[in-house]
Amino acid sequence: MKFTLFFLCVALLHGCFSKNAESETFLIPQGLTGNITIYYNESTGERKNYMDNRRVYNIPQNHVLNTQFEVNNGWLDQKFYYVLESGNKKEISLDSTKLYYDEPELAVQFKKNHIKDTLIMLWGIAGKEGNRYYQKFVIGTYENPNSIDTLGL
């Protein structure tokens, strides 16, 4: 009973002091795969852009985005889209972002049903290189998951 009460108190305190980050939308050119890096607080980077009260990150073909946004700390609400040649967006559903290496049995079953779906791995990895804050993730497909270079992160 004491343990349960202690756990509830810790959970309540955590909820009081944690914060939600700004919601984020990642716009990725159709078919782009590989390692993606976003550098934050770059004075000459892409200007801050919001759509529907969400930060918008336009990922360039070179896989590296420099943005004027500051680091986004807290609980993240992230959505990923491919931007089609027509300019329309196709959402990369969260169901297709299962971690392949963490849950191989689940991924094998998922792969049978979603072979052409996009796979986003290791999203939300963040850190600091010198004075530059970054976020990194890898994007690929279930059709060819072994080609994804997680070591390049």
pLDDT digits (tens, 9 = 90+) for 26-71: 999 988 888 899 999 999 999 999 999 999 999 999 999 999 999 9
Could you tell me the end-to-end alpha-carbon distance of the chain, in angstroms, rounded to an integer?
Answer: 44
Domain-embedded: residue 6: no
State the pLDDT at residue 41.
97
Q: What is the percentage of the chain residues whose pLDDT exceeds 90?
A: 35
Q: Which one is predicted more confidently, 149 or 151?
A: 149
Domain-embedded: residue 138: yes
State the pLDDT at residue 101.
47
Q: Give the pLDDT band of residue 86 (cuts 50, 70, 90).
A: very high
Q: Which one is predicted more confidently, 11 or 33?
A: 33
Q: What is the pTM of this model?
A: 0.71
Domain-embedded: residue 7: no
CA 34 to chain centre: 13
Average pLDDT over residues 91-108: 55
State the pLDDT at residue 119.
59
State the pLDDT at residue 109.
56
Domain-embedded: residue 85: yes
Domain-embedded: residue 2: no
With 80 as the cut, is the pLDDT of residue 79 above it?
yes
DSSP codes of every residue in the chain: -HHHHHHHHHHHHHHHH--BPPPEEEEEETT--EEEEEEES-TTSBPP-EETTEEEEE--TTSEEEBSSPP--SB--EEEEEE-TTS-EEEE-GGGG--TTT-HHHHHHHHHH-TTSEEEEEEEEEEEETTEEEEEEEEEETTSGGG--STT-
Q: Give the pLDDT band of residue 92 (cuts 50, 70, 90).
A: confident
Domain-embedded: residue 132: yes
With 90 as the cut, is the pLDDT of residue 112 above it?
no
Residue 110 domain boundaries: 20-147
Q: Which one is predicted more confidently, 33 or 133?
A: 133
With 90 as the cut, is the pLDDT of residue 3 above it?
no
Domain-embedded: residue 63: yes
- Give the total number of structural domains in the chain: 1
Other Cβ atoms closer than 10 A to 5: 9
Domain-embedded: residue 86: yes
